[in-house]
Chain A
């Protein structure tokens, strides 16, 4: 990731959030570019073929696609599955950076708000690394500079002596008020607050959707919030957390179809019964059991459902934020699928298990 420093050094250390909707929206241009980028994505028939290849063959295959320069750049430093994963992350970061470059005005604003999740991720990683006393290199390797902060800026933060210095360096960001509450012991609370803040800012950015495309964009984010809430409700109930005041601070507000407050208050059996009345039941009913020892199959089904639902209506508004979001979803999904295959192959996981984790849309 350090190799990105040269290129990303061109970006400002942090983009100011006050450029809300600045400039004229260039949807026609951006959507045309995005369409061309989408045509370069791997077709879904590729995945079964990749499952029959070894890691080196997969890396070679990836190298022959859009990921060539990433593999070539990182081949000196990494090997095998590590090389593939770092190359995929690097390519994803470049792609998002390109999207921000080719968009102006409203789409740029919406995308940058959506990509703030990577900033939240990086801030969390920096705090985690400092709490653990991890080496600067280890922290830097765990950063994904696909959001507002440049790799140079994040690397500088990773090199700080303590978490206090990191927090002071973020004084001008929207994360500062939350980070100020960090005392070295309450990292989980801070992480939860940062994640919740990310979604509330994103909902603020979307505003009250009036047009069809905004409604679809809002639906996508709301679905994501619902899927996260549902997964977390299952996790908390399985962990024996029953108190409403303990569960509700961990729920993302503004979801699509779930009444989290009602679901959180119910005991497990009633909670499952209540889920039958939601639109998510069809997606998860096949993996629901009485004891639910493992929730991974359920989370995998929910992720598949949210991505499939989000991409179903992507053709509705051809010149809007929807095709751009659609591309972001597809690209992110491609990276996830390739990583699942490479890492699964490396670990010797069964092909059926790898296939179950893939989301082919």
Chain B
């Protein structure tokens, strides 16, 4: 707010006082929201870190298993067996609210399949193929969990950043400027009052003379 644009009136002062009060309570609330979001973020961060470690591990296991299966059965056999895959896992997307932030909840159906529902015959295959399928099913499950947590983290981070900017704007720009303006109006009003008193005193002195 540029001071020249301000009308130094009492009504303006009252309005300004109200705005300062509102800004201060808003600032307090936003600070609380920011702290709350940071707490939530760190809670999820630890969980996401564990899931990411598990995901890396699951990926390594799945890669090792498929490499071993390819070595023992041949890529031709693995490729042929992979053709038996039918349907894709179903992903269900819902959501919930964390302090005003909408975060996704991802659930999956049909990722894990029992041995006899995988589509390939039991007699013509072996445990190398079973274990590769198991490892990849595990990997897909971990990817879904990681996707949920990492999207939540991203959204929380965006919200924290936004809230932080608002808190800082209120704390370092809006409220100080309002206070400055209030001081200016107060000073101007006092000055006007002093001028009035002085003027009255002069009139009174002239009247005595």
Contact = CB atoms under 8 A, between A and B. Distances in A.
A124 B127 contact: no
Contacts of A141: 76, 79
A85 interface: yes
A169 B67 CA distance: 36
Interface stretch (B2-10, B101-109, B110-118): B110-118
Given A232-B122, A250-B123, A339-B74, A349 B131 contact: no
Interface stretch (A28-36, A233-241, A255-263, A319-327): A233-241
Contact of B76 (A89, A196, A246): A89
A325 to B, nearest CB: 21
Chain B interface mostly helix, strand, loop or mixed?
Answer: helix
Contact of B71 (A121, A142, A344): A344
Contacts of A124: 80, 121, 124
Nearest to B122: A250
A3 to B, nearest CB: 15
B127 A125 contact: no
Contact of A343 (B64, B71, B127): B71
A231 B80 contact: no
Contact of A132 (B63, B64, B84, B118): B84
Contacts of B121: 124, 187-192, 194-195
B130 interface: yes
B172 interface: no
B75 interface: yes
The A interface, classified by DSSP as helix, strand, loop or mixed, is helix
B83 A125 contact: yes
A75 interface: no
Contact of B127 (A187, A231, A250, A348): A231
Contacts of A357: 68, 71-72
Contacts of A346: 67
A294 interface: yes
Interface string A327-361: 00000000010011001101111000110010000
A87 B80 CA distance: 18
Contact of A349 (B68, B79, B80, B127): B68
Interface residues of A, number: 56
A191 B123 contact: yes
Interface in A153-205: 187-192, 194-196
Contacts of B126: 231, 235, 299
A309 interface: no
Contacts of B70: 343, 347
Contacts of B84: 128, 131-132, 187-188
9 contacts: A124-B124, A191-B124, A236-B122, A239-B115, A294-B131, A300-B72, A344-B71, A347-B67, A349-B71
Please list the 9 inter-chain residue pairs (A to B) with the smallest Cβ-Cβ separation, ordered nearest first.
A191-B121, A347-B67, A128-B83, A343-B71, A295-B127, A239-B115, A195-B123, A132-B83, A142-B80
Interface of A: 82, 85, 89, 120-121, 124-125, 128-129, 131-132, 134, 138-139, 141-142, 144, 187-192, 194-196, 228, 231-232, 234-236, 239-241, 246, 250, 252, 294-296, 298-300, 336, 339-340, 343-344, 346-349, 353-354, 357
Interface of B: 63-64, 67-68, 70-72, 74-77, 79-86, 114-116, 118-124, 126-128, 130-131
